[in-house]
């Protein structure tokens, strides 16, 4: 009798194992697999402030991209960057690693490396060479990033049988999101107007990339003047065209709409980044990658990391209250909608997980603030650094003691101090006193005394999360809200304030529960959320938390 019962139980349990669970059907492989999307697509809109989702909402098209993802997806309305400096390389890295600079090591777009005693660019790598170009723009890789990305973990989860690809105009916008084990990263070489890669990934460009480059799309875009998408008088959300505080990225002869770009044909290839056509070029490259790499068709979950860089260049030059910025987002709305339609056709609606975010926000142009009686101004960091070095030489007898002011930090040459038997504390105390007297500066403190320095808790947390000892300085500078590093035109970003740190994070597609998430979330939560949804390991330095509200049946 016991034998009969044992046999029956074995038959029953084997039948349970053999039958597929209908609740975990998959879009990537067989019906008894864990449910995962065919493709994950990440869009980083460089310098997109959170309020841009709604600032132009009335002008976004019903069939455009922004209203589609907001109405059918889940928007995390209070997503913040949890560190400083709020700059491109750190932002892209944090979104895809779920980590912060104090762990992943990307402390800025560049930094002074205290071990190497030189300036280091975030994605530089002199052990590799360019593929598709002989310029130094190809000597790039993710080796300076110390942790894995969500793409790396996705590759590990499939035993490297899927594909992960990064695409952007900026090298750092393509390389850092894609990760260490990416199949490819492609970025734009402004010296010759084509997309390139490096020997870190491949020995030669795939045929489809070569063919894409042969189309010379940049020159075709230059043939079309950049005029406003709609009559210019309808841009009532923006300041009138041609302001003295705006930069002139196309030269003094082109100060306002329409911008005739034809003089750039066959040269000045990087100027495309200062127009919405830079986004168009990037999206065309992304579409080609989906088609020719057959992303979403590997039988496993593939990943495409796209960064749209033109919004950043346009924002720096003209500011967030300009017609140029408004027009760029109205155009991007249409292009985002078209790209989602493209994914529907290529991968299948409901078969891909899409998210849109930003690497940082941006401050208003100081001239605009002053014209409207709002607090703000400029801090000439280059002039201040020279003045401090001159004074330090007079006091301590050593020339060029300050070697860097990257990332709102003052870095000193410790070797010179040691050789002269001068106490580091004496020099940092002098610098702090000097900086605290400057009109643009709210505070300055010795970084190694951060935990003992009276600071707002949010600021203290953000500065601590941005501190990686060998890649950071000795004195932290805190600008007053509304103040930016620079001179009389244009604007920038990088500090703790909400206009630089409050970013969009909108989810759409596979596995997403439509709605709005209003509690505070962080940039670092994106990678953790994707890992949870895909049931894979979080990146190796991840400190983020899963945003369970966005997941359908978490």
Q: By C-alpha distance, which of 125, 123, 138, 128 is closest to 199?
A: 128
Rounded distance between C-alpha atoms, residue 121 and residue 109, angstroms: 6
Residue showing tokens 């209203």? 67
Beta strand 505-509 with 74-80: parallel, antiparallel or unpaired? Answer: antiparallel
Rounded distance between C-alpha atoms, residue 88 and residue 178, angstroms: 15
User: 541: number of CA atoms within 13 Å, CB side?
Assistant: 21
Rounded distance between C-alpha atoms, residue 220 and residue 297, angstroms: 32
Residue showing tokens 């809200």? 481
Rounded distance between C-alpha atoms, residue 25 and residue 27, angstroms: 7
Q: Is 101 exposed, middle or buried (0-12, 13-18, 19+ CB in 10 A)?
A: buried
What is the three-class DSSP state of 133?
A: coil
Q: Report yes or no: 78 and 348 within 8 Å, Cβ to Cβ.
A: no
Q: Which of 79, 84, 86, 88 is catalytic?
A: 88
N- to C-terminal Cα distance for the chain? 44
Q: By C-alpha distance, which of 118, 120, 126 is closest to 105?
A: 120
Helices (H), 150-297: 150-157, 171-178, 207-214, 217-222, 277-292
Number of other residues whose CB lies within 10 A of the CB of residue 236: 8
Tell me whether residue 15 is one of the annotated catalytic residues.
no
Residue showing tokens 């090591």? 105
Catalytic residues: 88
């Amino acid at each position: 009798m016991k034998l009969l019962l044992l046999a029956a139980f074995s038959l029953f349990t084997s039948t349970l194992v053999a039958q597929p669970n209908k609740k975990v059907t998959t879009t990537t492989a067989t019906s008894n697999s864990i449910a995962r999307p065919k493709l994950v697509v990440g869009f980083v809109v460089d310098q997109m402030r959170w309020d841009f989702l709604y600032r132009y909402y009335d002008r976004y098209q019903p069939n455009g991209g922004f209203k589609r993802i907001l109405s059918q997806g889940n928007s995390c309305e209070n997503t913040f960057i949890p560190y400083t400096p709020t700059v491109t390389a750190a932002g892209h890295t944090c979104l895809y690693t779920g980590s912060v600079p104090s762990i992943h090591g990307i402390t800025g777009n560049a930094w002074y490396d205290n071990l190497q005693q030189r300036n280091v660019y975030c994605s530089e790598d002199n052990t590799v060479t360019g593929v598709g170009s002989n310029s130094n723009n190809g000597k790039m890789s993710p080796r300076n990033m110390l942790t894995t990305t969500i793409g790396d973990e996705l590759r590990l989860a499939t035993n490297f049988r899927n594909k992960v690809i990064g695409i952007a105009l900026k090298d750092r916008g393509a390389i850092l999101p894609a990760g260490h084990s990416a199949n490819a990263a492609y970025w734009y070489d402004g010296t010759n107007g084509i997309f390139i890669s490096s020997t870190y990934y491949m020995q030669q460009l795939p045929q489809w990339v070569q063919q894409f480059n042969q189309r010379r799309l940049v020159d075709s875009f230059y043939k079309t003047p950049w005029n406003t998408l709609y009559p210019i008088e309808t841009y009532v959300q923006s300041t009138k065209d041609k302001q003295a505080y705006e930069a002139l990225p196309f030269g003094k002869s082109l100060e306002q709409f329409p911008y005739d770009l034809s003089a750039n044909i066959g040269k000045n290839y990087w100027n495309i980044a200062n127009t919405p056509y830079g986004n168009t070029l990037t999206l065309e490259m992304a579409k080609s990658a989906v088609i020719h790499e057959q992303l979403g068709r590997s039988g496993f979950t593939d990943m495409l990391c796209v960064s749209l860089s033109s919004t950043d260049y346009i924002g720096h030059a003209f500011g967030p209250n300009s017609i140029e910025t408004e027009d760029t987002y109205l155009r991007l709305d249409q292009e985002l909608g078209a790209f989602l339609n493209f994914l529907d056709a290529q991968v299948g609606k409901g078969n891909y997980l899409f998210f849109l975010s930003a690497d940082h926000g941006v401050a208003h142009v100081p001239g605009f603030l002053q014209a409207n009686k709002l607090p703000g101004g400029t801090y000439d960091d280059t002039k201040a650094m020279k003045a401090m070095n001159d004074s330090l030489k007079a006091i301590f007898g050593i020339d060029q003691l300050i070697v860097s002011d990257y990332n709102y930090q003052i870095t000193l040459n410790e070797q010179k101090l040691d050789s002269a038997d001068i106490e580091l504390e004496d020099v940092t105390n002098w610098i702090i006193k000097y900086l605290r007297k400057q009109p643009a500066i709210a505070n300055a403190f010795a970084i190694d005394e951060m935990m003992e320095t009276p600071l707002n808790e949010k600021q203290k947390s953000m500065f601590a999360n941005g501190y990686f000892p060998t890649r950071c300085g000795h004195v932290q500078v805190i600008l007053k809200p509304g103040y930016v590093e620079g001179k009389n035109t244009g604007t920038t970003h990088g500090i703790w304030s909400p206009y630089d740190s409050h970013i969009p994070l909108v989810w759409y597609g596979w596995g997403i529960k439509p709605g709005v998430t209003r509690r505070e979330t962080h940039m670092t939560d994106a990678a953790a959320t994707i890992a949870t949804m895909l049931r894979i390991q979080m990146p190796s330095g991840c400190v983020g938390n899963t945003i369970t509200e966005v997941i359908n049946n978490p």
